Amino acid sequence: MGLIKGKTAEPAGNASAKAEPNCEELRTALENADAGVRRHAARQLAGCADASSALVSRLQREEDVAVREVILNGLARLNDVVAVEGLVGCLRSEDAALRNEVIETIKQMGSEVAPVLESLLADPDPDVRIFVVNILDSVRHPDVESWLIQVIDHDAHVNVCATAVDQLCEVGTEAAIEPLLRLKARFATEAYIQFAADLALQRIREA
């Protein structure tokens, strides 16, 4: 009976090396014409040092919904400064679908994004300020109410203030009562402001 040759076992070091992602190849694959290749690369890039910058760069140009989803999930997990700032930058995109996807992603990232969002409450673009106010209700941060109060006290744009009042209906406390009354006086002719502020005041007083 002949001897059966056993397979030569690979050194553990070689197996480990094979498990390491080839970051250069993955960055190249992220630009591949095949969406499936891009999706796979985006999923594997998380192990690379510059993953956030590569993913943000691709996100700004990616049109395939499935690839965008993988990129957004990866950025949410990385949750570093580059990832957060890249996502926030997409709030200025002309692509409404991308903006909505980014908003939902930021909402899942927790209080780590709060300082960046706070700085954007002074952004010159009122649409960006509205997006940020809408995100704040999902950010578990102790200063959210005070940030919303600053908005209704100082923002000159009625739609930004109206969005902030809507959020104060959910998170407002007695600290918001006087600012809401000041807002009603400042926008005395704006019917929605009057309605929303009265609703917020009612809910706060009944709480």
Helix or strand run (H / E) with residue 190: none
DSSP string, 8-30: PPPPHHHHHHHHS--HHHHHHHT
pTM for the complete prediction?
A: 0.80
Residue type, 63: E
Match 């040759």 to its residue by tokens.
5
Task: Kindly report, residue by residue over 155-164, the tens digit of the pLDDT.
Answer: 999 999 999 9
For the record, the structure tokens of 132 come out as 């940020």
Task: State how far the Cα of 39 lies from the Cα of 3, in Å rounded to an integer.
Answer: 46
* All structural domains of the chain: 22-108 (1.25.10.10), 114-207 (1.25.10.10)
pLDDT band at 13 (very low <50, low <70, confident <90, very high): very low
